[in-house]
Amino acid sequence: MIARIIFCTAVLLAILSVILLAIFSPIPQENKSRNPSWVDLSLYIQQPLVPASNLSPEKTPKDVGALIFHRLLTEGPENTSRVVGKAQGFIIPIQEFANSAFNIIYLTFNNKEFSGSLSVEAKSLTNDNKEELNVVGGTGYFAFARGLAVFVQTEKEAINSDNLEATYHIKLQLKFPNKSKTVPG
């Protein structure tokens, strides 16, 4: 009889312990500083210096087949700013290929803060000084990123008046999927 009372008391204490732990346990918090759900970045694509004499209308092709580029990404507008990555792309600016899957700009980062790449869809280029394009994915730190990439062309006179330096200011607004959810399966 005493053994039965001790057993029932132990079971009752165990049940009570589980209930109390469930009620008073702290809720785990996500480490938001390590992987925020939104990231805003401001970067610059540096263009190579081109002498103004090379920009004459006679030398500018009227029908460009494809634009293939490889440029540096920097923190600031000066070409001496710290390099944080590179911008590469393959764009076909002909109307028939306006919605081509080839029209992608890749932004690759390799530094302490960010390591990975972003894919920016360049299907709806309007040849304006400001382009709003969609971020359609990424790798590394930017895995599964979605958002907006705003490209604004800035021009300034170089020290030498024969050169015109053009850069693009990129404002990235990225959203990441909620990593706290698990995929069933």
- In one-letter notation, the amino acid at residue 30 is E
Cα angle value 49/168/105 (rounded, 5°): 105
Indicate whether 184 pLDDT > 60.
no
Which one is predicted more confidently, 22 or 115?
115
Average pLDDT for 22-33: 62
Number of domains in the chain: 1
Tens digit of each residue's pLDDT (9 = 90 or more) over 48-95: 665 555 554 554 455 556 777 889 999 998 888 999 999 998 777 666
Which one is predicted more confidently, 68 or 107?
107
Report the C-alpha gap between 88 and 83 in whole angstroms. 14
Domain contains 24: no
**Which residues constitute the domain of residue 154?**
36-51+65-175
SS3 113: coil
Q: How far is CA 183 from the centre of its chain?
A: 23
Residues 6 or more apart from 107 whose CB is under 8 A from it?
Answer: 43, 73, 85, 86, 87, 117, 118, 120, 149, 170, 172
Average pLDDT for 19-27: 73
* Secondary structure E strands in the chain: 38-46, 50-51, 67-74, 83-91, 104-110, 115-121, 130-140, 146-157, 163-175
CATH code, domain with 131: 2.40.480.10
Domain contains 13: no
Domain contains 58: no
Which one is predicted more confidently, 103 or 159?
103
Domain contains 137: yes
Domain contains 19: no
Average pLDDT for 138-146: 89
Tens digit of each residue's pLDDT (9 = 90 or more) over 121-135: 877 666 667 888 889
Domain contains 12: no
